[in-house]
Chain A
Amino acid sequence: MSSFERFLDTFFNATVLEKYAPAILSGVGVTVWLSILIIIAGMAFGTLLACLRAYRFKPLSFFIVIYADIFRALPPLVMILLIFFGLPSVGITLSSFMVLFVVLALILSAFAEEILWAGITSIEKGQWEAGRSTGLGFTQTLIFVVLPQAMRLAIPPLTNRAIAITKMTALGTVIGVPDILNQASTAQSFSGNASPLMLAAVAYVVLFLPFVILSRWLENRYFWRKA
């Protein structure tokens, strides 16, 4: 067997690919479903935190900052293991899917809060004043004037962060979430062949490339000349 044939046999073995493709496809379903849930929950919670921080109520802001700093500092794998293996001993048992969802959504919310907060603070004071001078309340000005502008500024870093966090769903493998990587590495150990991992890699690219392209499109779509 030539080295090229060996290469093909290791990474692109048709028999192995055919056998394990359905399992990996089911993994794709899990990864997609998890990613969507994480993005929705993480972004929503992060936006809520950034908005609450805009009220500049010191004790609340303090807790939000602490929260954001801790969840941005801790490695996700540490948190996943801590919660998955720690919580059952205090009587709380969460499924591995649930643990992965909660941890990644919390981490995303911490980053989203910081990104949106940066956006909110970068909106000129004059925008607040214009809103307030027409009789809009603080919350109305925040929601209808400031937040939409902050969101547009935040879209490029937010989409990057969303891509980064959804890739981390692969960490679910260590606690047994049946995502793409888990299916592929199981298949790899049964078959003794790396082809399933190659298929997983392809699946990730197929999944995330449109997302990356979408983020590029969003950046252009929501860019507008400064008035």
Chain B
Amino acid sequence: MSTSAPPKTASNVSRPPSLEVRDLNKYFASFHALKNVDLLVEHSELVFVLGPSGSGKSTMLRCCNRLEEPDSGDIFLEGDPVTGAKVDINAIRQRIGMVFQSFNLYPHLSARKNVTLALRKVLRLSRDEADARAEQALDNVGLADKADNLPAALSGGQQQRVAIARALALEPQVMLFDEPTSALDPELVGDVLSVMRDLKSSGMTMLVVSHEMNFAREAADRVIFMDQGALIEQGTAEQIFENPSHERTRTFLSRVTGAD
């Protein structure tokens, strides 16, 4: 388990960070949902975002692939602009995988076709290539035998793993997880987390909004605490959980862990 930043080697000194968010602001009508948020996610880093509901965690995540349109600020993926009028957002989105709280599998398509749709229509792979890649992606999340099942015939945990496979099949550079286990029965959470753990050890860059504190302790390279639309503090999981420097972080942690 490594909690320190990746070592600066000659190869990654010149390389831009995987994901960079600069001075991001977002309003919903008059509500200031994100306030001057800055964030750097390095290659192969797992950044875990914590915060009370309504703190802007999900909004920040959704701005990263512009499912929410930021009102000001810049976002860069591997140094390439994500925001701006000239950006081909569909091309950027292929490079950013996203996993949703409610899975959002296509209910009319089998697990395999959920995975192959973007492979066929976005990457323009042949049917055989797309199927082969889908088999591989489903195998990676332990669901090779469920390829022909419709989502309704899968458990919540299985559905979420298909959703992860769907995002991974596009071979993204960053994966965004928006409360991936919040809609799951407790006994199904483990399967999804273990897929995320595998992903982390394979070197995937991950930005995770979640309430799975134990997972954060174990897997996060860095934990970020957000409150009322602002990034309050960040540090290693140990720093944030054992020795938070901000009062609001302490209050939040004592409430969610039940300690005082």
* B69 CB to nearest A CB, Å: 12
* A148 CB to nearest B CB, Å: 5
Residues in B neighbouring A133, C-beta threshold 8 A: 65, 67, 93, 96-98, 167
Q: Please give me the residue from chain A that is nearest to B95 by CB atom.
A: A135
> Number of contact residues on B: which range applies?
20 to 34
Is there an interface contact between B90 and A136, defined as CB atoms closer than 8 Å? yes
Given contacts A144-B117, A224-B152, A226-B152, contact A134 B106 (CB under 8 A): no
Q: Which of A137, A145, A226, A227 has the most CB of B within 10 A?
A: A227
* A225 CB to nearest B CB, Å: 4
B108 within 8 A of A: yes
Q: Please give me the residue from chain B that is nearest to A152 by CB atom.
A: B108
Is there an interface contact between A126 and B104, defined as CB atoms closer than 8 Å? yes
22 interchain pairs (CB within 8 A)? Answer: A124-B102, A124-B104, A127-B104, A130-B106, A131-B118, A133-B96, A133-B97, A133-B98, A134-B117, A134-B122, A134-B170, A135-B90, A135-B118, A135-B170, A136-B90, A136-B118, A140-B122, A224-B108, A225-B152, A226-B107, A226-B152, A227-B105
Residues in B neighbouring A131, C-beta threshold 8 A: 106, 117-118
A149 within 8 A of B: yes
B94 within 8 A of A: yes
Q: Please give me the residue from chain A that is nearest to B65 by CB atom.
A: A133
Digitize A89-132: 1 where CB-to-B-CB distance is under 8 Å, 0 elsewhere: 00000000000000000000000000000000000101101111
Q: Please give me the residue from chain A that is nearest to B121 by CB atom.
A: A140
* B245 CB to nearest A CB, Å: 34
B100 within 8 A of A: yes
Given contacts A140-B121, A227-B103, contact A134 B167 (CB under 8 A): yes
